[in-house]
Amino acid sequence: MHLTEEQLNEYLDEVTTERVQIEAHLSSCDECAARLSMLQNLFTELDSLPELELTRDLAAPFILRPSLPAQLPKFLTLTASLQAAVALAALIIAVPFVSALLPQIELPSFTKLFFQIQSQWTVWLDQLSTLTLPTFQPINLPTLEMSSLLFTLAGVSVLWILGNGLLLRNQMK
Q: Could you tell me which residue, 70 or 164, shows the higher pLDDT?
A: 164
pLDDT of residue 153: 84
- Contact criterion met (CB below 8 Å) for 162 and 156: no
- Range list of H helices, 49-107: 74-101
How open is the CA angle 92-93-94, to the nearest 5 degrees? 95
State the Rg of the chain over Cα. 39
Is pLDDT larger for residue 79 or for residue 73?
A: 79
- The SS3 assignment for 17 reads coil
pLDDT for 145 = 61
Q: Give the pLDDT band (50/70/90) at residue 107.
A: low
The predicted pLDDT at position 30 comes to 92
> Which pLDDT does position 80 carry in this prediction?
86
User: Furthest-apart CA pair in the chain: how many Å?
Assistant: 99
pLDDT band at 65 (very low <50, low <70, confident <90, very high): low
How many alpha carbons lie under 13 Å from residue 25 in its C-beta half-sphere? 17
What mean pLDDT do residues 107-112 have?
75
